[in-house]
Structures are given as structure tokens and as C-alpha cells.
Structure 1
């Protein structure tokens, strides 16, 4: 499981964009976005670097990331 602290998320569009970007890397990934905490939790086997990069390419800066 990967946890990312992500800036700039504020609405359902953001949730959809982040979820889609992660699932383009791993279509089986489970994505949970917490807007109030600016946190994205991803259940995936993909490397954290690829997930973080996909979120950033969608336009949402990743402030920190770690594998849980």
C-alpha cells in the first residue's frame, strides 16, 4: 500500500483525475482519496515512483510518499 500527500485536490473532479491517473499505471489498483487530509492511499503492486509520477502528470504535486 502506498500513501501520498498531494496538493491541489479540492473536488470530485480531482478525485476522478487522480484515480484515473493511478489506474492507468495499474488498472487493478484501489484508490482512496481523502480531500480534507490531501491524502491518496493506493493498494497496488506498482512502484511508488510510478504512482507518484502519474499523479504529478495529472497536475497534482506530490509532497511526500511512502510505502505502508
Structure 2
């Protein structure tokens, strides 16, 4: 069964940031879809089994702060 988690993401300023966050999260196990919005400073992650802490850590490794909504 698919689940979804939304995150507020701070520190993104351009499309490069969006791609960095998207790529980092897409590499995580269980993730099936990622939508990142620069305008909304947010990320929507879908997957079979999601680990919010792992997603936050992957985003932090790229230099951004993420907080689950």
C-alpha cells in the first residue's frame, strides 16, 4: 500500500536545488515518486514504505533542512 509524506524544505533558491533534493530522495529505498516545489518550498514523497527520518537526512546531506508536515 502506497503512502505519502509532505515536507517543508528550507534553503532552496533555484532549480538546481530542486534537482538536488529530488535526486537525493529518489535514491532512497521504497520511494516511488518525488515532487519538489521551489515556489512552495516543499517536497511530496510517495512510496511503499517511507522512512521520514531517512528522507530528512538525505535532504540534509544536500544542504537543505526538511521538516515533515
Coarse TM-score class (shorter-chain normalised): 0.7 to 0.9
Which structure: greater strand fraction?
2
Partner residue, 1:13: 16
Return the TM-score normalized by structure 1. 0.82
User: Cα distance 1:12–1:43, how it changes in 2: closer, same or farther (>3 A)?
Assistant: same
Aligned length: 65
Name the CA distance, whole Å, in 1 between partners of 2:52 and 2:31.
15
- The runs of 5 or more residues in structure 2 that have no matched partner are none
Q: Is the 8 A contact 1:22 1:29 kept in 2?
A: no
TM-score by length of 2: 0.81
2:46 aligned residue (43, 47, 64): 43
The unaligned stretches of length 5 or more in structure 1 are: none
